[in-house]
A and B are shown apart, each in its own frame.
Chain A
Amino acid sequence: MAKIDEILNQEGIDRIAISPYKQYSRGYMEPGNLGTGYVTGLKVDAGTRVKTDDEVLDGIVSYDRAECKNAYMGQINMTTASSFTGVQGHILGYDLLRNPAVDNAKPLFEEDQWDGSKLPIYDGKPLQDTLVEYFGTSDNRRHYPAPGSFIVCANKGVTSYRPKEDRPLRTGESYGVWSAIAISIAKDPVHNSSMFIEDAGTWNTPNEDDLNEFLDRRRRAIALSIAQCGQDANTSFASSWIGFAHVMMKPGEIGNAITVGPYFSIPVDAVPGGSILTPDVDMNIMEQLTLPKWLEKMKYQSIVKDQHIEY
């Protein structure tokens, strides 16, 4: 058992999050899960669809496309959480199935925190990659959420249309959509919560280069808001991981950018050597395993290495 779990257990807190289903992950708080904890992951994706004449359907279909892109989260009932992953939570790729890229990452820049410490900002890709490897993709599904399950998620998104005709943009229309997610890891995870920040928006010129420049500035704005949120709660963070996705629409397409941090429980058959009778040991195994070791034990090929995964 990890040292932190020993301390938390004395407070009556457990971080166990085991789903009784085979293969499928389930949402946090769905009945029948073992343990009172949850696992969270990072997903940020953008997708497009050709627009029809039905705005409601367009919204649904484009949202669905973004949900199913990369880390597969299709066919779920998504409910919204206000974005903290606390003492009872694990972060996939960081606390569980740690991605070695997390340890090798170099900070992009640093932000000042209220207590005088520096907050290093990293690219969120290693954590996004871990969720892709764990949930799988649409055509290579692994331990994705059970179809129809209720998944609590930190989430935000935008939908926008680019007109097919050559005419000025009307209100609500644009050339591109983008989304971002950040997870900030609490320095003191026994007493404080780590925090998600999700963001999304539209882009109003056809220049993708300008959008990329804007997103770089946006990363700094997000870093600043993380530091400010930390001050509000008198907490500071050890590191922040920020991931972006964007897509430019072709004429006649509707675009959707979503940012999602799902809270879920892991099925016991996703734990190598796991047993439904010993959920605490199962969590321990997942804490000990690195992502490459887990892939090896599960006899999975690395999707991120083999396929072209672009967020």
Chain B
Amino acid sequence: MNVKIAVLENQINADFYQTLQLNYGMRKINSLLLGKIKQKEVVLLATKNLLILAQKDNTKTFPLNQVRKLTFIKGTPNGEIQFKFGNHVYKVNQIRIGRVFDFVQTLKPTLPLEANYTNTNRGENNYLSNPDHAVEIDRLRTALQNGKISRYEYDDFNGSISKAGK
């Protein structure tokens, strides 16, 4: 039994649930959504390389690298997601189980483009006050906060931090 899929027990038709457990029970499911397409119940599953759209009588499997545009529209409850495969646009709405943004982030991570500044965090003074370094530091902070570079690299590249140590 797949514990990720188990959250759907009692939420969907028993046969549909059994079919999902049978087909995908042994797979590693990273994220899952339960919503509707044209009032018909649909389960979206995300594995490492696939997006699976399962309905009671029909299942479609999309290789992730061929999924064009995976868009968060709104979060649960009553969430909405949209993705494009070939020329067809799939729109899943009334999502009531799962987290829509987490699903998008699992498959196609999108990252904030701006850096966050807060003086309330320890050691996080607004370095932008130094105009010589503002643009570069803003880029560095964005990369740090997106997990692209580490704290060590941020400190190392940051011209406004003394290089006395590591």
Contacts and interface: CB of A to CB of B under 8 A. Distances in A.
B118 A207 contact: no
Interface string A144-177: 0000000000101111000001111111111100
A202 B106 contact: no
B121 A171 contact: no
Interface residues of A, number: 43
A196 interface: yes
Nearest to A169: B112
A199 B150 contact: yes
A154 B166 CA distance: 8
Interface string A52-89: 00011001000100000000000000000111100000
B120 A56 contact: yes
Interface in B122-165: 122, 142, 144-147, 149-152, 155, 164-165
Nearest to B165: A82
Given A159-B121, A166-B100, A204 B146 contact: yes
Nearest to B107: A205
A245 interface: no
B166 A83 contact: yes
A63 B120 contact: no
A167 B152 contact: no
A102 to B, nearest CB: 22
Contacts of B72: 168
A198 B154 CA distance: 12
Contacts of A198: 151-152, 166
Interface residues of B, number: 36
Given A59-B122, A82-B166, A202-B147, A168 B114 contact: no
B37 to A, nearest CB: 19
A171 B111 CA distance: 8
Contact of B118 (A63, A172, A174): A172
Contacts of B144: 201-202
A59 to B, nearest CB: 5
A171 B75 contact: no
B31 A206 contact: yes
A200 B121 contact: no
A198 B79 CA distance: 41
Nearest to B72: A168
B105 interface: yes
Contacts of A154: 165-166
B117 to A, nearest CB: 9
B82 interface: no
Contacts of A204: 105, 109, 111, 146-147
B165 A168 contact: no
A172 B145 contact: yes
B110 A168 contact: yes
Nearest to B106: A206
A229 B114 contact: no
Contact of A199 (B79, B121, B152): B152
A172 B119 CA distance: 13
Interface string A184-222: 000000000001111111111111000000000010011
Interface string B91-115: 0000000011110011001111011
B158 to A, nearest CB: 13
Contacts of B13: none
B48 to A, nearest CB: 8
B118 A55 contact: yes
A225 interface: yes
Contacts of B59: none
A58 to B, nearest CB: 9
A63 B122 CA distance: 10
Interface of B: 30-31, 72, 75-76, 79, 99-102, 105-106, 109-112, 114-116, 118, 120-122, 142, 144-147, 149-152, 155, 164-166
Interface of A: 55-56, 59, 63, 81-84, 154, 156-159, 165-175, 195-207, 218, 221-222, 225, 229, 251
18 contacts: A59-B120, A59-B121, A159-B122, A166-B100, A166-B102, A168-B72, A171-B116, A172-B116, A172-B118, A198-B151, A200-B151, A202-B144, A202-B146, A203-B147, A204-B111, A204-B146, A206-B31, A222-B152
